[in-house]
Structure 1
Amino acid sequence: MLQTQPSRFGSILLLLSAVIGFAVALYAWLTPLTGVTGTIGVLGVAIASVLLALLALLLRGASHRGTRIFLIIVTLVLLFGIGFAAALLHQYIITAAMVVGLIGLIALSSNSVRPNHRARA
């Protein structure tokens, strides 16, 4: 299946935000004097960022309308959850990355799935 330009752009933005979120959360979890070193909250943000990357890959390959809508809603909830948790942890770079991910999700979801019409005999 050929990917259109908004779909490719949206999935790249969503994956980029997940990678940035994971990297910054892992840095904050491992580095002393960040204020959140070794806390469960920042570890949760790192794990949720990995889930966000998996959802982005699943969303890119989803072809059925119901599956796409479900994945878009779950991804949207995860984006808001990660952004809110990062704001509470004072990791505003992660929150900004989730805003970029939201832009990518909008670009990805604006691409409508073409119905698969098959000839009936």
Structure 2
Amino acid sequence: MPQSRSQRLGAIVLLVASLVGLAIALYAYFMPLTGVTGTLGALVAIIATLILAVLSLALPAFKGNGSRNAWRVLIFLGLAGTCFAGLLLQQWWLCVAMVVGLIGLILDMVLANRPAHPAHT
């Protein structure tokens, strides 16, 4: 059964947050006077946000709860690690983007466990 639009909302929010985080990390890496221009930490943040975007694209494809939950744990660890990297790099907007991604992950968990057709009483 295909997922409804509301069930994919969490993955979409997560994808958008990852892409916004990617843009912020790219800005920090390439623009002068950010304090982290050309550093390894900013490059790791770029790679981490790319990985998060790929993970969020693959999230709706999982059907079983076990594999989906394992994928969610990986995404959570990526979000937490990237937010911590943003704190160390003093890129506060990167942390904000990762918190929005966490909201998307929570939405995915809540909406995926909701029945597709509510029972009528």
Report the TM-score when normalising by structure 1: 0.88
The aligned residue for residue 32 of structure 2 is 32
Amino acid in the other structure paired with 2:113: S
- Give the corresponding residue for 2:113: 112
SS in 1 for 2:86: helix
Partner of 2:52: 52
For 1:112, the aligned partner's letter is: N
Quick one: distance in 2 between partners of 1:113 and 1:107? 11
Moved more, 60-69 or 99-108: 60-69
Does the aligned pair in 2 maintain the 1:63–1:113 contact within 8 Å?
Answer: no
Residue 72 of structure 1 corresponds to which residue in structure 2? 72
Residues 84 and 95, structure 1, Cα contact 8 Å, conserved in 2 = yes
Partner Cα separation in structure 2 for residue 77 and residue 25 of structure 1: 18
Residue pair 1:6, 1:107 contacting (<8 A) in 2 also: no
Structure 1 distance, partners of 2:101, 2:64, is 22
Residue number in structure 1 paired with 2:119? none
Distance in 2 of aligned mates of 1:6 and 1:73: 21
Count residues with an aligned counterpart: 114
Per-residue deviation, residues 95-117 of structure 1 (Å, max 9, x unmatched) = 00001000000011121398xxx
Structure 1 runs, 4 residues or longer, greater than 3 Å off: none
Structure 1 match to 2:3: 3
